Chain A
Amino acid sequence: MTGPVVDLFTWINSRTGLNFSVFTDTYDGERFITGLITTVELSVLSMVLSVLLGLAGLWMLGAGGFWRALARGYVQLFRNTPPLVQLSFFYFALGGVLPTLTDSRGAQVPAVSGFGWAVLSFSLFAGAFNVEIFRSGVEAVPSAMIEAADSLGYTRLQLYRHVLVPLGLRICLPSLTNNMVNLVKTTTLAYAIGVPELLYAAAQIWSEVMNVREMMDLLLVVYIVLVALLVWLMERWERALRVPGYTP
């Protein structure tokens, strides 16, 4: 590894003893980048799935009967238990009873990878909050909007798709942003089941290089940047949805 960044951190190391091996050592650098990519993948997949789960839950709440009870049970279960317990349950309890598959080289691999369980677990966790967030948004839409759509012959799906969700989303977008920020932070729990995301990669590096302090600094900065990026995107979306003369 060569270049100005390497030179800078080599110089810092020689002057202060601080060892940012991620920038000076190719292997550590690659592990860290892999961790970063895994964290981003975990976050994006879980965000998308959790929003879909939130919408599905919203729809089920409005459907009444069995579906409503199911959505309520789901929200209670996943909102009121710790996400680390949920993840452990999926990985150790459910993952343990699933059959293993044979891969192309004849090795036994679990049917669902740690990464897969993490995505599922985080989606369900954040999805439960999204159900509540979307519900609060849709409930804040004036009932006159529903009456107007009803009197024009909209079906329930058309009502949700073209009126309630677009209007409710504008109302609940700040809460959704909060939940998505939480979700990104929650992905560090995947460390506990050995998914090589950022925290896991950092821990591997510091246990070999003995640079705990430097890796911690770096982790904080990377998460601050990741979350800032997410918040910036969400705020852009909020602005894009803004309508002249209408304050949700």
Chain B
Amino acid sequence: MVEDSRLASPTDEELVQRVREGDEQAMNVLVDRHHVVVFRTCAAILNDEDLAADASQNSFIKAFKAVARFRGEAAFRTWLLAIAGNEARGLLRKVKRRREDRLEDVGVLPSGGGDPSAEVTLQSEVARVRAVLADLPEKQRLSVSLRIFEGLSFREIGETIDSTEGSARVNYHHGIQRLRELLGS
């Protein structure tokens, strides 16, 4: 239990070093600390709770397997979120392929994007907001989600979406503008 108390508030970087040395408890602390932001990143891309949970799990496994190649130039969280974004996009591609195969099998064509403001009129408030969010370009969606749901700075969002701080800010404000147009104020 001495080990546990020393793990009470170490930095991410200290924990990563312990993971490199094979410390399973350090992995658990990193999971406790970051699973929600990883989940929200995956959910912003996948727009589905179950898929986001699967992608979150795989993200941590892949991050821990790759931890020897994390050298600490970026924050661990930023590096982890980049892995999570990749994992979610990979899963999204798989799901889409599966869905398209199924639709071809039964001779039904995808319904298409359509007008989100028309499609969502009969849905609940939460479903409406999610539907409009889901129709934003990915960088806008991630910028809005990580800024509002997780309070990440524009700088960290920029690093997470492979972009600059200024670009993250612009993507955020364009996303908010679009949401205002489609949801009304």
Q: A and B: real partners? A: no
**Chain A contacts to B: CB under 8 angstroms:** none
